[in-house]
Amino acid sequence: MAIIVHDNGLDAAANHLANNLGYPNRFSHLASTATVTYNDCNYHVTAIAGNAFQSKTITGELNIPSSVCSIGDRAFQDCKYLTAISIPSSVESIGINAFYRCYAVESLNMDCESTYGDNCFQRLGYEADKLKVSIGKNVQTIPEMLFRSLKITELAFAPEGKLREIGASAFSGCKISGAINFPPTLTTI
């Protein structure tokens, strides 16, 4: 199974792939790949289109491939059964509501220095008993209100990280337990 993406008109190929595999609305353990084959052509995955998986039943982990540079608006909105999300350093932008209402997420690993759309993580893990957020070594800035009101129970920063700044209210309303070890590069909170 290939991740359904947008790459220079690949939407038709993605829809064809999903429908012919019998998965127009249900995906199980979505696998990530750097290429999609359609009509004997291989397409390099560089972006996940807006609305690509909106309201689809995707269970398990989502590992965005390192070839992806952008995740579109509402790409995974209302994917209520995802349990873990990993976003690599290659991702430069995450769209509005990209992961909005992904209620079951228990783990978010992000290692990208991105521009973030409004509410891209809003209500992430809202029905999970725990939400662990791991910030990777390539993240330099956490913008204002990025994780506001999430039920984060554990927050970890890469000790060798490049984090310089945490914006105002980035974690407002979060009830983070345990010690937090910030990287030595952090200068502004």
Q: Which tens digits make up the pLDDT trace of 83-140?
A: 999 999 999 999 999 999 999 999 999 999 999 999 999 999 999 889 999 999 999 9
DSSP state for residue 79 in the 8-state scheme = -
pLDDT band at 8 (very low <50, low <70, confident <90, very high): very low
pLDDT at 143 over 80: yes
The phi and psi torsions of 17 (rounded to 5 degrees) equal -60, -50
Position 52 confidence tier, pLDDT thresholds 50, 70, 90: confident
Question: What is the structure's pLDDT at 2?
Answer: 36
Token pair listed for 98: 């990209």
How many of the other CB atoms lie within 10 Å of CB of 2? Answer: 21
Cα angle for residues 81, 110, 79 (degrees, 5° grid): 20
Q: 91 with 136: CB under 8 angstroms? A: no
The DSSP bridge pattern shows strands 141-142 and 115-116 to be unpaired
* C-alpha distances in Å from residue 8, one per residue of 19, 33, 47, 91, 115: 20, 17, 10, 18, 22
Q: In the prediction, which pLDDT does 25 show?
A: 42
Q: Is the pLDDT of residue 14 over 60?
A: no
The pLDDT, as a whole number, for residue 28 is 37
pLDDT at 1 (0 to 100): 33
Q: pLDDT band for position 33 (50/70/90)?
A: low
Tokens of 33: 């790949």
Q: At residue 40, does pLDDT exceed 50?
A: yes
